[in-house]
Amino acid sequence: MIGEILIKVAFTLCFLSVLSYLLHHLRGTPAALTAGRWLFRLTVVSIVGTAAFLLSLILTHQFQYTYVWSYSSRELSTPLLVSTFYAGQEGSFMLWTVFTSIIGLFLIRHSRKMGYEAQVMSVFGFITFTLILMLIAKNPFTMVWESWPGEVQAGFVPANGRGLNPLLQNYWMVIHPQILFSGFASMAVPYSYAVAGLMKRDYMQWIKPATPWMAFGGLILGLGIMLGGFWAYETLGWGGYWGWDPVENSSLVPWLVCIAGIHTTLSQRKTGGFIRTNFIMGMLSFLMVLYSTFLTRSGVLGDTSVHSFVSPGMWVYWLLICLIVVFVGIAAGMLALRWKEIPWPKAHRQSTMGQFKEYASSREFALFLGASTLFLLALIVVFGTSTPIITDIMEGKKSAIDIGFYAKWSIPFAVAIGSLTGLAQLTWWNRSDRGSLIRALRGPAILGLAGVVALMLLGVKEFGVLLVIFAALFALASNIQVAVRVFKGNPKFMGGAVAHIGLAIMLLGFVASSKYDEQHTVSLAQGIPMETMGYRLTYQGYKPLDNERYAFQVRVEKGGKTYEVAPVMYYSSYNEGLMRNPDVLNLITHDFYLAPLSLEEKGTDSTAVQRAVFRVGESKDVGGLHLTFTGFDLPESHMASMAGGDLKIGARFSVARDGGGARNVIPAKHIQAGKVTDVADRFEDRYEFVIASLKPDAENRKNSTVEVAITDLFKTAEASKTPDVLIAEASVKPYINLVWAGLIVLLVGFGVTIVRRSQEASLKHPLAEEPV
């Protein structure tokens, strides 16, 4: 009750806040501004209150709430217990709403300073309002007897909850969703500023307060994407940091659009270009957040994703569609309304080839190309992720795209992005002097070429790889050159160069770790060393970590050094399945990655059991025996089976070994009162025959088939003397640290940009731009 009331209070307050802000915008009533401000603050109080209430329910184990029962249990540690807050869909929407509303508090102050409060807050308040609407549609305060009416008595309190999926029980779960959702929430700010700019007819200055928020969103969402990749790599054992899964893509797309937007707004500051583009980009990253949410949360992807949620019901599905329609409608409507008023930038004259050449060497053009590349990449990913919807409309059935689709695009995009980040930094605004441009390009280009030649001498032959390496080295050198120069001037202006250095490092890491990783499946008998890829591995046995999980200790020896890895594998009673967590040995220049596959315990030898399918009259050699399937042994009459319901079907095999005499072996299936039991038969007391499957063909007896499983009892007896064998996948991932290091540098670059742009936004007069 309390939770639902609080949500409805927040809903009403937020609605009134939007109305007041709009009133101020339209009529200029001063009281309306104060009212809107306080109403929004009260909205935040009730939203935070709702969240606190849910958290208290979780912490005090109120299992009569379906949500609390579904995701938490008494056994969880406090941090994990807190994280069950957003383990389900309702809670994660609430987390999103909480972050959005808190950002709103800061936005009130920020936009007031800019003279934008009424417009920005009416849009932002409306976004908050729609998120609260989602919570009304699906709130986490349903009682168990409301979830299963008639089956559960009112007032029933379960003794314990179902608990949190063990896959989520690690520190990533504690931090990753929070970061991702604050990234999503911050994307609403550029949208609000863009719409506000159109409302105020301010087409040039809105980007100034919006840019630091775009950089903030880029930083936080980028961090979220990175942690997600690291989670997948280090704990979930997906074998890599990126799998092009819809859930991953859904955070990548808004991020790419946001970054493209940061680049085009930069151009508007300097040359007054891209005014309309910037409105579109400012609004698009938020719209992409909505679209991604729709893709991953509505169940529309169906069975085509590993982790798309099971359908949350029609309510949420249509509400999400409505949200997209409404926010696209606001964006498109406002833009259409003002389109003619928006000034056209002082056009570069490009009517002659000479003028075009001049334009083509300007930084504005390079930025345009860079932003377009990022935007196209985002389009590709959206397109790929939306395949199930597209094929559903076109062909009437859903099908997903193969990951190869993205892989095909990755090399051309890596080359384009690498070379453009290198080039753009060396060009000048408006136009570059050709001589000085070539002089600046020379150093980085020579370095790139030197790298390529060195790799070719080392035996790298793939053209695509060499191109990426060249582009990345070129970008790295030119940006270091720029960074050094800017540092001497004003270190605060280094953001761009630092971010690009990070990007170049990442590109190198991508190529090395994905193109040159090597993997082998190894069978490690306990205590017996085995060599693979230059590593000497010894499986030493397992030990329990807790009442369910086991760590498999493996000694790794390389170049005189000894390391220990302990991948984890266990049967999870929660998931009713085998869970595997890899272990990673980080060796600076490369990672050694060991993912457990299975443990072949004593007494099992998978070759001891052989199977074969026979038609009537067919002969085959199976596991050293010569078999002929001579026919089925059926009851004398069908009447017998119909009368008693008791049926025995035998498969008659003529079996011989090493030229010895043939003997009949007749394994059978016995059907009695609907239950099937296997009746085994033996050959020479060594081979046990069981019918694995029967496919009788009533029309043509000759087409009937039988599958027989033959167990070599000597081998199983022998196997019980051999040690346990750990089967694992060992892989070496060269220079994967470059990916992580590059990402961190990239994000530091974002941080520097936020500081600079927010200081600049709070100044009345624009700062002097960097002396590049």
Residue among 331, 709, 719, 732 that touches other proteins (CB under 8 A): 709
- Least separation in angstroms between residue 150's CB and other proteins is 9
Q: Identify residues 535-594 at the interface with other proteins (CB under 8 A).
A: 575-580
DSSP string, 490-533: -GGGGHHHHHHHHHHHHHHHHHHHHHS-EEEEEEEEBT--EEET
Q: Identify residues 124-183 at the interface with other proteins (CB under 8 A).
A: 144, 147-148, 151-152, 156-162, 165, 167
Residue placing its CB nearer to other proteins in the complex, 347 or 393: 347
Asked if residue 104 binds other proteins (CB under 8 A), the reply is: no
Give, for 459, the enclosing helix (H) or strand (E).
Answer: none
Residue among 692, 713, 741, 767 that touches other proteins (CB under 8 A): 692
Asked if residue 505 binds other proteins (CB under 8 A), the reply is: no
Residue among 174, 597, 647, 741 that touches other proteins (CB under 8 A): 597
* 561-565 vs 550-558, strand pairing mode: antiparallel
Comparing CA positions, the residue from 170, 294, 218, 136 lying closest to residue 581 is: 170
Residue among 11, 21, 65, 69 that touches other proteins (CB under 8 A): 69
Torsion 652-656-660-665 (CA) sign: negative
- Least separation in angstroms between residue 521's CB and other proteins is 4
Residue among 234, 358, 729, 760 that touches other proteins (CB under 8 A): 729
Query: Which range of residues in 376-384, 463-471, 538-546, 657-665 is near other proteins by CB under 8 A?
Result: 376-384
Residue among 43, 50, 84, 89 that touches other proteins (CB under 8 A): 89
CA 13 – CA 167 distance, rounded (Å): 39
Location of structure tokens 């931090």? 175
CA 94 – CA 79 distance, rounded (Å): 18
Residue placing its CB nearer to other proteins in the complex, 236 or 366: 236
Q: Identify residues 442-461 at the interface with other proteins (CB under 8 A).
A: none
Q: Identify residues 631-690 at the interface with other proteins (CB under 8 A).
A: none
Alpha carbon 588 to chain centroid distance? 25
What Å distances lie between residue 138 and 93, 313, 316, 395, 521, CA to CA? 9, 10, 7, 32, 46
- Least separation in angstroms between residue 55's CB and other proteins is 19
Q: Six-digit token pair at 110? A: 């920020």
Residue among 209, 212, 237, 502 that touches other proteins (CB under 8 A): 237
Query: Which range of residues in 115-123, 586-594, 724-732, 761-769 is near other proteins by CB under 8 A?
Result: 724-732
Question: Could you tell me if 596 and 524 are in contact, meaning their C-beta atoms sit under 8 angstroms apart?
Answer: no
Query: Which range of residues in 68-76, 652-660, 663-671, 736-744 is near other proteins by CB under 8 A?
Result: 68-76
Asked if residue 377 binds other proteins (CB under 8 A), the reply is: no
Helix (H, G, I), strand (E, B) or coil at 592: strand
Location of structure tokens 């050709």? 434
DSSP string, 548-578: S-EEEEEEEEETTEEEEE--EEEEETTTTEE
- Least separation in angstroms between residue 152's CB and other proteins is 6
Location of structure tokens 């990345």? 472
Asked if residue 38 binds other proteins (CB under 8 A), the reply is: no
Print the binding letters for residues 293-322 with other proteins: x by CB under 8 A, - otherwise: ----------xxxx--xx------------
Residue among 398, 485, 549, 648 that touches other proteins (CB under 8 A): 398
442 CB neighbour count, 10 Å cutoff: 10
Residue placing its CB nearer to other proteins in the complex, 521 or 672: 521
620 CB neighbour count, 10 Å cutoff: 13
Residue placing its CB nearer to other proteins in the complex, 347 or 639: 347
- Least separation in angstroms between residue 680's CB and other proteins is 14
- Least separation in angstroms between residue 338's CB and other proteins is 22
Residue among 15, 356, 487, 516 that touches other proteins (CB under 8 A): 356
Residue placing its CB nearer to other proteins in the complex, 158 or 631: 158
Residue placing its CB nearer to other proteins in the complex, 45 or 390: 390
Residue placing its CB nearer to other proteins in the complex, 557 or 707: 707
53-62's contacts with Cβ under 8 Å and 24+ in sequence apart are: 53/2, 53/3, 53/6, 54/3, 54/85, 54/91, 54/94, 54/140, 54/141, 55/82, 55/85, 57/3, 58/82, 58/84, 58/85, 61/160, 61/161, 62/157
Question: Could you tell me if 373 and 266 are in contact, meaning their C-beta atoms sit under 8 angstroms apart?
Answer: no
Phi, psi dihedral angles at 751 (to 5 degrees): -60, -45
What Å distances lie between residue 65 and 140, 630, 676, 709, CA to CA? 8, 63, 43, 50
- Least separation in angstroms between residue 107's CB and other proteins is 33
Residue among 340, 346, 397, 765 that touches other proteins (CB under 8 A): 397
Question: Could you tell me if 95 and 86 are in contact, meaning their C-beta atoms sit under 8 angstroms apart?
Answer: yes
- Least separation in angstroms between residue 609's CB and other proteins is 8
Question: Could you tell me if 299 and 309 are in contact, meaning their C-beta atoms sit under 8 angstroms apart?
Answer: yes
Residue placing its CB nearer to other proteins in the complex, 186 or 386: 386
- Least separation in angstroms between residue 391's CB and other proteins is 7
CA 100 – CA 477 distance, rounded (Å): 40
Phi, psi dihedral angles at 705 (to 5 degrees): -125, 155
- Least separation in angstroms between residue 463's CB and other proteins is 17
Question: Could you tell me if 627 and 610 are in contact, meaning their C-beta atoms sit under 8 angstroms apart?
Answer: no
- Least separation in angstroms between residue 342's CB and other proteins is 18
- Least separation in angstroms between residue 87's CB and other proteins is 8
- Least separation in angstroms between residue 589's CB and other proteins is 27
Residue placing its CB nearer to other proteins in the complex, 20 or 711: 711
CA 692 – CA 716 distance, rounded (Å): 18
Query: Which range of residues in 247-255, 399-407, 443-451, 680-688 is near other proteins by CB under 8 A?
Result: 399-407
Asked if residue 712 binds other proteins (CB under 8 A), the reply is: no
Residue placing its CB nearer to other proteins in the complex, 444 or 596: 596
CA 749 – CA 496 distance, rounded (Å): 6
718 CB neighbour count, 10 Å cutoff: 13
Angle at CA of residue 764, ends 759 and 769, nearest 5°:
60
Q: Identify residues 609-638 at the interface with other proteins (CB under 8 A).
A: 609, 613
Asked if residue 693 binds other proteins (CB under 8 A), the reply is: yes
Asked if residue 228 binds other proteins (CB under 8 A), the reply is: no
* Count, residues near other proteins per rule CB under 8 A: 72
Residue among 12, 170, 271, 523 that touches other proteins (CB under 8 A): 523
Residue among 106, 318, 383, 714 that touches other proteins (CB under 8 A): 383
* 681-683 vs 687-695, strand pairing mode: antiparallel
Asked if residue 276 binds other proteins (CB under 8 A), the reply is: no
- Least separation in angstroms between residue 518's CB and other proteins is 15
- Least separation in angstroms between residue 294's CB and other proteins is 17
